[in-house]
Structure 1
């Protein structure tokens, strides 16, 4: 990737771990950063958040997105970040992919989780984007500086 100005980091973070990873990736890639949020904020208490997140996954509920302040069309590469919930991306990410399309974009995924690998999340993302023009290239865990450096090295020139 020679023109980093064509990259954007889009992430959802519930506890701040994915936000921290997005900021570290931004420092290394010089890409802009955009947080996505649900239109109705998630509960702050972990147990309440877990209840809502699990219900969304179990019932395939796509929460509405809060409005985004920028146009995604100007970017060629989208780094898409999220925490792994129950071995998959949060349903908010499904809503983002459905609404924003990301047609003709390079989508590189990064995720935070200390108990799950990224493999199942990538399969879920590919299922969510099948029969669309969205191409999920692959991804990496981003729990620490080493994982981020290794992951980025796989996707940047």
Structure 2
């Protein structure tokens, strides 16, 4: 089991680390080859341009071993009701055929469900399947998600995997 995530401000990283704590999954942070600016206004300009132009930012880390993985958590901040374009880069770069994906996102105001139609198309095109999703804005939400499904993720017994 694996957790792959992108975090610009550290909020999604904290969520990913909490998922790791509860599941024992390996953790991989996606990083862009060209670092996003820390200035909020500059970041907005770049991120909106990427979305409008359907850009795929290059990944700095391109050696993620997915061969033995069947279940992958994918985490990201929600930007304008959808995933950052670097998440699309991940799905288009790696062989994700027959992988089960659990999506989680962080956002001040947008639940993960708002962007599901967009990201499900990306996941499906990669040959994977979204099996669940949750908004990961707090440790409580994350724990509730894991416990409510009685997922024994340490042994990939989630949903019969």
**TM-score, with length taken from structure 2:** 0.88
**Offset of 1:59 from its aligned partner?**
1.5
Alignment match, 1:117: 111
Decide which of 75, 78, 84 is 1:84's aligned counterpart.
78
- Unpaired segments of 5 or more residues in structure 1? 1-6
Decide which of 128, 131, 154 is 2:122's aligned counterpart.
128
Q: Which deviates more from structure 2 when the two are superposed, residues 10-19 or residues 131-140?
A: 131-140
Residue pair 2:78, 2:110 contacting (<8 A) in 1 also: yes
Alignment coverage as a number of residue pairs: 151
Residue pair 1:80, 1:110 contacting (<8 A) in 2 also: yes
**TM-score, with length taken from structure 1:** 0.90
CA distance in 1, matches of 2:9, 2:96: 26
**Offset of 1:112 from its aligned partner?**
0.2
Q: Which deviates more from structure 2 when the two are superposed, residues 124-133 or residues 9-18?
A: 124-133
**Offset of 1:67 from its aligned partner?**
2.4
1:156 is the counterpart of 2:151: yes
- Unpaired segments of 5 or more residues in structure 2? 153-161
Q: Please, what is the CA RMSD of the aligned residues?
A: 1.5
Deviations, residues 61-91 of structure 1 (Å, cap 9, x unaligned): 1111112343111211100000000000000
